[in-house]
Amino acid sequence: MSDCLFCKIIDGDIPSAKIYEDEHVYAFMDIMPVSKGHALIIPKTHREFVYEMTEDEAAKLFAVVPKIANVLKEKFQPAGMNLLNNNGAKAGQSIGHFHLHFIPRYDETDGFQARWMTKEKHFTPERIAELAAEIHSELN
């Protein structure tokens, strides 16, 4: 896709600080990092959302994820790491090409916050079981 920022990075039209590449995926440092070691991995085939990826494309991308995560852990020794993907504008996606963030975490002031606001009062165990049954029936 010619107007996609990440496709331009893959094609070499826009420079990046590449950390990994094979015939299926490309990984590079985020130019607006949240923390030291903040990196991205993307499929080389343009897919805007995870919903569009084939199982094979996802398998090839996620096969590399532990390799990158372990190198970031070894080299920078973070206290933890968030893996983050946003699908769609309402979820915070700002670039229309699937990407997974590796965000090494060092302390509470490192620039990233994940805040959970649970809704257990709205989702009873019975309702959760109903939702699970709906999903399960589609997956089997």
Out of 24, 38, 97, 99, the active site residue is 99
The separation between the first and the last C-alpha atoms of the chain, rounded to the nearest angstrom, is 34
In the sheet where 80-84 sits, what is the strand order? 18-21, 25-29, 39-43, 100-105, 80-84
CA distance 29 to 122: 40
Secondary structure (3-state) at 51: helix
- How far apart (Å, rounded) are the C-alpha atoms in residues 14 and 99? 17
Closest-CA residue to 34 (of 94, 95, 84): 84
Number of C-alpha atoms within 13 angstroms, CB side, residue 113? 5
Query: For this structure, is 99 an active site residue?
Result: yes
Enumerate the active-site residues.
99
